[in-house]
Structure 1
Amino acid sequence: MAKIAEMTQLSPTMAEGKIVRWIKQKGDPVSPGEIIAEVETDKAVMEMEAFETGTLLEILAPEGTLIPVGAPVAIIGKQGEDISTLVETAKKSIPTKKENTIQTTSQSSTTSQNDTTQPSSSSSKFTTEEQNKIYQSPTFSEEQTTSYKHGSQTTQTGRSGPISPLAKKLALQKGVDIGEVTGSGPGGRIIKRDILSYQESGGGKKGSFVKRHDRRLELTGMRKTIASRLSHSTSTIPHFYLTLELDANSLDSLRNSYNQDLKLEGPLKISLNDLIIKACSLSLKDVPEVNSSWREDHILEHGRIDIGVAVSIEGGLITPYIRNTDQKSVSEISLEIKELASRARERKLKPGEYTDGTFTVSNLGMFGISSFTAVINEPEAAILAVGALVKKPVLKEGNIVAGKTLSVTLSCDHRVVDGATGARFLSSFREYTERPLRLLTG
């Protein structure tokens, strides 16, 4: 008897999934545990398995559709089995929506309220030529324009007086504000030579603008999850922030000498961020109160130290975790971060690799950001925001010398971490980063 295959919950936070690709096609044999489709969840692209033996008789959800967890996606049964009734029943229970991008035209303040532009039904995208087209914006309105007949020629009036049709057309093409032009024709009428003279004297182009188009972007599962989780975090967690500027000379020197002395190249080279993550893990051992979570009726102080690294990927952000970070060397941390980040960008992380951490580091230093504050990643109690390495004069032993500084900001959940506790964590972090040799032995 044919059975319906449903959208499987592939991650703890998954509420719906988008069918990226059907690996099995209609008519293909399937068996339990065999991969039948690739599904984009809120965090990654994952493989969906079959739970029945038989033939894939019908695909109910085409590629590119969003399907809620538990909704029908396919029918599996015996070859030649009549499934017409089952197909109709299943299709009625699928609330799908196609992922797409629609472009609309915004109304500028110079456009009439009744003048709207609808996207073409044959295409949801405007051509590059249309997007780059220059439109001329006259500075007089229709209400200020009148017409009259003079022989076979129609003359209209602008702000400064009458204007010939040819002059008006030329003004629109050249972007000339007619209100700035003095007419030399009969009765002060603006004619072609007035427009040309005005342009030659340096006028024109004041009313030209590039018409831009809005885009409607459908929310992906990842973007919905980011919006939901961060909105909940900022509205329920009492954040406070502690900022510290570090002397990063020794830390940067250690990184350079480590890579040079060991002749490390490519993925084997360690980064400042690798050293910072190691320093965080040791500071969490020193101040375990920060390595905790709020549990409504108690605070859970974690025995393990699992540090997440925020990774920017197409369409959003994901945080893979380095398990037992404090027990790993800087080189091990470095290689693991690179491997996790690579699979994150390919959307191939497993749920266990981006959930259930104890602390997070977010680094925007590579973008030149000197300092920033980050939103706590629930249910963690803190997150460290790391800025760029900045070269600047610093005061050392009474002398002004060339120095390198690094700004870090600790965001804390005040239900779990008090100001003094956060300060102790940053003090420990300073010790490890300004005297960094212990990072290689700890």
Structure 2
Amino acid sequence: MAKIAEMTQLSPTMAEGKIVRWIKQKGDPVSPGEIIAEVETDKAVMEMEAFETGTLLEILAPEGTLIPVGAPVAIIGKQGEDISTLVETAKKSIPTKKENTIQTTSQSSTTSQSDTTQTSSSSSKLTTEEQNKIYQSPTFSKEQTTSYKHGSQITQTGRSGPISPLAKKLAFQKGVDLGEVIGSGPGGRIIKRDILSYQESGGGKKGSFVKRHDRKLELTGMRKTIASRLSHSTSTIPHFYLTLELDANSLDSLRNSYNQDLKLEGPLKISLNDLIIKACSLSLKDVPEVNSSWKEDHILEHGRIDIGVAVSIEGGLITPYIRNADQKSVSEISLEIKELASRARERKLKPGEYTDGTFTVSNLGMFGISSFTAVINEPEAAILAVGALVKKPVLKEGNIVAGKTLSVTLSCDHRVVDGATGARFLSSFREYTERPLRLLTG
């Protein structure tokens, strides 16, 4: 008997998925555990498996379709089986998005005979592309709200009043901003002569301005998740921030000398961020209160130290975790970050690689940002925002010398971490970064 295959929840936060590619096609045999499609979730592109044995009789969700978890995507059964009723039932249960459109109808002009005659000719009609580039006045929104008129009952208008179809087309061709034109027709209607007069007075010259239009960007699953999680974090977690400026001379020197030595062994290069993650892991061991989570009726102090690294990818960001970072060398951390970041940008991370961490580092230093504050990644209790390495004069032993500084800001959940606790963490972090040889032995 044929059965419906549903959109599987492929990650803990997944509410819907987009069919990227069907691995199996209609008519192909399938068996449990076999990959039938690639699905883009809120975090990554993942593989969806079959749970039935049989033949893929029907694909209900074409590639590119966004489908909620639990909705039908395909039908699997015996070859030649009648599935017409099942297909009809399944398609009715698939949510579809409909775009609401407002249609406008042209109203004939009651102005001069020449304007009326030219308006009725086919040459005055706008193409769809041109029509999309003409304003519909706020008057429409106001009338529709107060009088409940349909869009087709509202006169086509410019920004500030009615406009004849011919004037509308002429304005588009001449590059005239309708918001700058005052209508001389009945009721302030903008007509042909108003466009010509405006041009003759020096307005609307070709190249004098570029017409720009708003764009409606559909929300991706990832953007929805980012919006939901960060909104929840800022509204429920009492954030407070501690900022520290570090002397980064020794840290940068260690990185340079370390990379010089590594040239003899291979292409690996460590970054400041690799050293910072190692320093965080050791500081979390020193101050375990920061390596904790709020659990409503208790605080959970984690025994493991799993540090997330915020990675910018197309359409948003994702945070893969370095598991047991305190037990790994700097070079191991560096290799793992590069591998995770690469797969993150390809949307190939597994849920276990970007969930259930204990602390996060967000670094915008590579973009030249000197300092910033980051939003806590729930259910963690803190996140460290790292700025750029800055070369500037510093005071050392009474003398002004060339130095390198690094600004970091710790965002803390005040339910878990008090000010003094956060300060102890940053003090420990300073010790490891300003005397960084300990990072190689810790």
Q: Same fold by TM (over 0.5)?
A: yes
Where in structure 1 are there 5+ consecutive unaligned residues?
none
Shift of residue 176, structure 1, vs aligned partner: 11
Given that 2:432 and 2:439 are in contact with CA atoms closer than 8 Å, whether structure 1 keeps it comes out as yes
Distance change >3 Å, CA 67–CA 133, structure 1 → 2: closer
Distance change >3 Å, CA 180–CA 254, structure 1 → 2: closer
Distance change >3 Å, CA 33–CA 251, structure 1 → 2: same
Shift of residue 65, structure 1, vs aligned partner: 1.0
Distance change >3 Å, CA 195–CA 221, structure 1 → 2: closer
Distance change >3 Å, CA 150–CA 280, structure 1 → 2: closer
Shift of residue 233, structure 1, vs aligned partner: 0.1
Given that 1:107 and 1:116 are in contact with CA atoms closer than 8 Å, whether structure 2 keeps it comes out as no
Shift of residue 179, structure 1, vs aligned partner: 16
Given that 2:134 and 2:172 are in contact with CA atoms closer than 8 Å, whether structure 1 keeps it comes out as no
Distance change >3 Å, CA 111–CA 246, structure 1 → 2: farther
Q: Which moved more, 1:127-136 or 1:237-246?
A: 127-136
Given that 2:55 and 2:77 are in contact with CA atoms closer than 8 Å, whether structure 1 keeps it comes out as yes
Q: Which moved more, 1:409-418 or 1:182-191?
A: 182-191
Given that 1:60 and 1:73 are in contact with CA atoms closer than 8 Å, whether structure 2 keeps it comes out as yes
Distance change >3 Å, CA 153–CA 348, structure 1 → 2: closer
Distance change >3 Å, CA 207–CA 415, structure 1 → 2: same
Query: What is the distance in 2 between the residues matched to 1:93 and 1:157?
Result: 41
Distance change >3 Å, CA 103–CA 89, structure 1 → 2: same
What secondary structure sits across from 2:120 in the alignment?
coil
Query: What is the distance in 1 between the residues matched to 2:129 and 2:52?
Result: 52
Shift of residue 150, structure 1, vs aligned partner: 43
Given that 1:267 and 1:335 are in contact with CA atoms closer than 8 Å, whether structure 2 keeps it comes out as no
Residue-pair matches, total: 442
Distance change >3 Å, CA 427–CA 210, structure 1 → 2: same
Given that 1:259 and 1:265 are in contact with CA atoms closer than 8 Å, whether structure 2 keeps it comes out as no
Distance change >3 Å, CA 312–CA 125, structure 1 → 2: farther
- What's the TM-score, normalizing by structure 2? 0.78
Deviations 1:267-303 (A, max 9, x none): 6100000000000000000000000000000000000
What secondary structure sits across from 2:198 in the alignment?
helix
Q: Which moved more, 1:207-216 or 1:143-152?
A: 143-152
Shift of residue 165, structure 1, vs aligned partner: 19
Given that 1:246 and 1:430 are in contact with CA atoms closer than 8 Å, whether structure 2 keeps it comes out as yes
1:381 corresponds to which residue?
A: 381
Given that 1:242 and 1:411 are in contact with CA atoms closer than 8 Å, whether structure 2 keeps it comes out as yes
1:116 corresponds to which residue?
A: 116
Distance change >3 Å, CA 104–CA 75, structure 1 → 2: farther
Query: What is the distance in 1 between the residues matched to 2:113 and 2:374?
Result: 42
What is the RMSD of the two structures over their aligned residues, measured on CA atoms? 8.9
Query: What is the distance in 2 between the residues matched to 1:38 and 1:82?
Result: 27
Where in structure 2 are there 5+ consecutive unaligned residues?
none
1:306 corresponds to which residue?
A: 306
Q: Which moved more, 1:290-299 or 1:253-262?
A: 253-262
Distance change >3 Å, CA 145–CA 57, structure 1 → 2: closer
Query: What is the distance in 1 between the residues matched to 2:149 and 2:318?
Result: 69
1:44 corresponds to which residue?
A: 44
Distance change >3 Å, CA 29–CA 418, structure 1 → 2: same
Shift of residue 68, structure 1, vs aligned partner: 1.1
Shift of residue 169, structure 1, vs aligned partner: 14
What secondary structure sits across from 1:145 in the alignment?
helix
What secondary structure sits across from 2:115 in the alignment?
coil
2:67 corresponds to which residue?
A: 67
Query: What is the distance in 1 between the residues matched to 2:220 and 2:154?
Result: 56
Given that 1:136 and 1:175 are in contact with CA atoms closer than 8 Å, whether structure 2 keeps it comes out as no
Distance change >3 Å, CA 280–CA 141, structure 1 → 2: closer
1:95 corresponds to which residue?
A: 95
Query: What is the distance in 1 between the residues matched to 2:40 and 2:146?
Result: 60
Query: What is the distance in 2 between the residues matched to 1:286 and 1:60?
Result: 55
2:29 corresponds to which residue?
A: 29
Query: What is the distance in 1 between the residues matched to 2:108 and 2:307?
Result: 48
Query: What is the distance in 2 between the residues matched to 1:278 and 1:10?
Result: 31
Shift of residue 203, structure 1, vs aligned partner: 11
Distance change >3 Å, CA 373–CA 110, structure 1 → 2: farther
Identity %: 98
Given that 1:147 and 1:154 are in contact with CA atoms closer than 8 Å, whether structure 2 keeps it comes out as no
Given that 1:147 and 1:155 are in contact with CA atoms closer than 8 Å, whether structure 2 keeps it comes out as no
What secondary structure sits across from 1:117 in the alignment?
helix
Shift of residue 175, structure 1, vs aligned partner: 9.1
Shift of residue 209, structure 1, vs aligned partner: 1.6
Q: Which has the higher helix share?
A: 2
Distance change >3 Å, CA 90–CA 176, structure 1 → 2: closer
Distance change >3 Å, CA 33–CA 148, structure 1 → 2: closer
1:360 corresponds to which residue?
A: 360
Shift of residue 423, structure 1, vs aligned partner: 0.3
Query: What is the distance in 2 between the residues matched to 1:142 and 1:366?
Result: 47
Q: Which moved more, 1:96-105 or 1:147-156?
A: 147-156
Shift of residue 262, structure 1, vs aligned partner: 2.6
Given that 2:262 and 2:269 are in contact with CA atoms closer than 8 Å, whether structure 1 keeps it comes out as no
1:244 corresponds to which residue?
A: 244
Given that 2:111 and 2:185 are in contact with CA atoms closer than 8 Å, whether structure 1 keeps it comes out as no
Shift of residue 195, structure 1, vs aligned partner: 16
Distance change >3 Å, CA 152–CA 415, structure 1 → 2: closer
What secondary structure sits across from 1:267 in the alignment?
coil
Shift of residue 263, structure 1, vs aligned partner: 1.3
Distance change >3 Å, CA 150–CA 184, structure 1 → 2: farther
Distance change >3 Å, CA 133–CA 275, structure 1 → 2: same
Distance change >3 Å, CA 14–CA 98, structure 1 → 2: farther
Distance change >3 Å, CA 215–CA 254, structure 1 → 2: same
What secondary structure sits across from 1:308 in the alignment?
strand
Deviations 1:56-99 (A, max 9, x none): 00001111111111111100000000000000011111114499
- What's the TM-score, normalizing by structure 1? 0.78
Shift of residue 31, structure 1, vs aligned partner: 0.6
Distance change >3 Å, CA 57–CA 179, structure 1 → 2: closer
Distance change >3 Å, CA 169–CA 46, structure 1 → 2: closer
Given that 1:137 and 1:175 are in contact with CA atoms closer than 8 Å, whether structure 2 keeps it comes out as no
Given that 1:177 and 1:207 are in contact with CA atoms closer than 8 Å, whether structure 2 keeps it comes out as no
Query: What is the distance in 2 between the residues matched to 1:359 and 1:25?
Result: 43
Shift of residue 320, structure 1, vs aligned partner: 0.2
Distance change >3 Å, CA 219–CA 167, structure 1 → 2: closer
Given that 2:106 and 2:156 are in contact with CA atoms closer than 8 Å, whether structure 1 keeps it comes out as no
Given that 2:111 and 2:186 are in contact with CA atoms closer than 8 Å, whether structure 1 keeps it comes out as no
Shift of residue 436, structure 1, vs aligned partner: 0.2
Distance change >3 Å, CA 241–CA 91, structure 1 → 2: same
Query: What is the distance in 2 between the residues matched to 1:320 and 1:194?
Result: 60
Shift of residue 425, structure 1, vs aligned partner: 0.3
Distance change >3 Å, CA 329–CA 127, structure 1 → 2: farther
Given that 2:135 and 2:157 are in contact with CA atoms closer than 8 Å, whether structure 1 keeps it comes out as no
Q: Which has the higher strand share?
A: 1
Distance change >3 Å, CA 98–CA 195, structure 1 → 2: closer
Given that 1:104 and 1:215 are in contact with CA atoms closer than 8 Å, whether structure 2 keeps it comes out as no
Q: Which moved more, 1:327-336 or 1:178-187?
A: 178-187
Q: Which moved more, 1:412-421 or 1:262-271?
A: 262-271
Distance change >3 Å, CA 286–CA 32, structure 1 → 2: same
